[in-house]
Copies of this chain bind each other. A is one copy, B any other.
Amino acid sequence: MENNKFEKIESIRVEALDKILGIPFKVLDDGFVRVVDYMGSDQSIVQAARVSYGKGTKKKSQDRGLIRYLMRHRHSTPFEMCEIKLHVRVPMDCWRQWIRHRTANINEYSTRYSIAIDSAQTTNPEEWRIQSTSNMQGSSGFLRSEIGYQLSNEENELHEMARKVYNHRIDFGIAREQARKDLPLSTYTEAYWKIDLHNLLHFLELRMDSHAQLEIRKYAETIGKEIVKNWVPLTWEAFDEYRLNSMYFSGNEIKIINLINSNKIDDALKIASSLGWLEKREDGSLKQNLERTEFEEKLEALNSIKPWK
């Protein structure tokens, strides 16, 4: 390589993202996400990957294939070459989950320095979710709205009382850092949140998942479908294919499917049995087994028939 081969260049811009820069996408009753700034594009990912191979830029038609290759084989460093900065408004309860992702840069609105934002996430009568019985940390379906009305009224009263207490303290000259201590977790906060594309995709994979809590899932879906999709469309397509809709099989699961396809059902049952999947109750029915249940769901997705009853 020769130094003198390099010429002045321009910063990479993405028209579809420039169009929505600064414009808030509404999330929940009073939250939002908006793009403040960004660096890079699909093209930057390709460019970075090709540094590794010491080659000049190739035909644009090959970029898609390269990005899919990188995504498929989890070559993450080229995706780290893109960066985005969002301005978000989120209930603190949701934000508590959000900032567990430690790879982002954050500047949050300070309720030590300023009066707390006078807004808390509210729940409509038909939005109260029922505790899932199958999933200890999930919800399933909604309460009927008659009771929902009652709960929404209570929520409203609690919000009013909490705000009254907060204001009372402030009026008495209590330090903001202490006055805020009993605000409800549903109180909105705001932050600048900056992250590279690789880590953002990891965040989206976890938080767009059906097991993620509804609130953060709504933010993740907005970021994914309104922002990332416009920013890096080739990457988004590959992410959708290889992450969001992909499925894992363990070593033994592959062996069992192989044996089913080879019509060696007995051998398949032997492996399942060795994994403890086939223990029976006194009445002869199979005991509950989480690993087996999860595998049965995968078999169903493949339209493959399970070799036990």
Contact = CB atoms under 8 A, between A and B. Distances in A.
Interface of A: 1, 3, 6-13, 18-24, 26, 30, 32, 34, 36-40, 44, 47-49, 51-55, 65, 68-69, 72, 77-78, 80-81, 83, 85, 87, 89, 91-93, 96, 99-100, 102-103, 105-110, 112-115, 117, 120-121, 123, 128-132, 136-140, 143, 147, 151, 154-155, 157-159, 161-162, 165, 168-169, 172-178, 180-187, 190-192, 194, 196, 213-214, 240-242, 244-252, 254, 257-259, 261-262, 290-291, 294, 301-304
Contacts of A190: 1, 51, 54
A22 B6 contact: yes
Given A113-B54, A174-B130, A245-B251, A155 B151 contact: no
A158 B151 contact: no
Nearest to A258: B303
A52 B178 contact: no
Chain A, interface SS category? mixed
A90 to B, nearest CB: 12
A183 B183 CA distance: 8
Contacts of A123: 178, 181
B169 A151 contact: yes
A112 to B, nearest CB: 4
Nearest to A305: B261
B108 A52 contact: yes
A34 to B, nearest CB: 6
B185 A92 contact: yes
Contact of A131 (B107, B173, B257): B173
B24 A11 contact: no
* Max count, chain B CB within 10 A of own CB: residue among A37, A49, A180: A37
Contacts of A174: 128-131, 143, 151
Contact of A254 (B53, B103, B176, B302): B302
14 contacts: A51-B109, A52-B109, A54-B115, A81-B192, A100-B106, A129-B178, A180-B185, A182-B184, A240-B251, A242-B248, A242-B250, A245-B252, A246-B250, A261-B302
Contact of A32 (B3, B11, B159, B187): B3
A40 B182 CA distance: 37
A253 to B, nearest CB: 8
A77 B106 contact: yes
Contacts of A249: 246-249
B51 A77 contact: no
A38 to B, nearest CB: 7
A267 to B, nearest CB: 12
A304 B249 CA distance: 15
Nearest to A68: B291
B54 A114 contact: yes
Contact of A36 (B9, B112, B138): B9
